[in-house]
Homo-oligomer: A and B are copies of this chain.
């Protein structure tokens, strides 16, 4: 922060904000987005879903390997993935950027607003602050399709099938490729520009998903969280490894943002996905009554993934 005279104001925060405001989707009549103490958005009698996730430079994104635009994209995408993992769709986002002086905020917002446009999630407000390190903290609001209930982590029952919306490990393999000096390709893209699977989340909810979570910290750890919340055990019959990734990257790499969900064995899951013209989900195994156990091919599976050291 800096105490600034009237003249100086035009060169710092205010001029960036004016530029940003011009880039944002304008609010529809009756709503007020940027420019007041709080944003005013449309209410809905339906439940409101709220998710919050921060991306910290040097922790969640290595700026030697990813651009500020990638970091901006990721900050919104990981939040949208949380909505996808409930079967919800996005309604709005608020974006708080805490950045060291000199950070190219326009580039950061290039990526963030590209994600906002791609997934139709308007940025309605936020905050901008100077900071010794770069943190992009996003909160998203969303709603379920009419009549649908949010898919929690806790609804899986013994006997339910376990499905993945796609193979895992691509993001970790992409990070390894970036560290080897590669700068393009499908794996690198998977790491730099994760895709929130909003349509797949809706399809899973519609197919009767009993529990769902997104693979952010590692397939094994996130599946373990779902199983623990549901009080079930997990018997995996197969591990869908993304092309170019290793089994270790698939199990523990994280940041894949594929969705893992459970459904009764009789649910017509692939039919629902085909009707929505989505890639077939992959059957991985089943839930068991032996809560606290996690097995792959009959062997106990160590849970590993990303945890923040505090």
Residues of A within 8 A of B (CB): 1-6, 8-9, 12-14, 16, 30-32, 35-54, 56, 58-60, 81-83, 85-86, 88, 92, 94-96, 98-99, 101-103, 105, 124-133, 135, 137, 139-143, 150, 152-154, 212-214, 229, 252, 302-310
Contact = CB atoms under 8 A, between A and B. Distances in A.
A302 B39 contact: no
Nearest to A92: B50
B307 A1 contact: yes
- Taken together, the copies of this chain in the complex come to 2
Contact of A310 (B12, B31, B42, B86): B12
Nearest to A53: B127
List 6 tightest A-B contacts by C-beta distance, closest first: A137-B137, A38-B51, A139-B139, A37-B85, A4-B307, A37-B82
Given A130-B59, A130-B308, A308-B2, A38 B135 contact: no
Contacts of A32: 150, 152
A98 B130 contact: no
Contact of A6 (B9, B42, B303): B303
Interface centre among A5, A14, A52, A126 (most CB of B within 10 A): A52
A54 B132 CA distance: 13
Contacts of A133: 131-133, 135
Nearest to A42: B47
Contacts of A54: 96, 98, 127, 129, 131, 135, 137
15 contacts: A1-B309, A3-B305, A3-B307, A4-B305, A4-B307, A5-B302, A36-B150, A41-B48, A50-B139, A51-B94, A51-B125, A56-B98, A60-B129, A135-B135, A141-B141
Given A54-B129, A307-B4, A49 B39 contact: yes
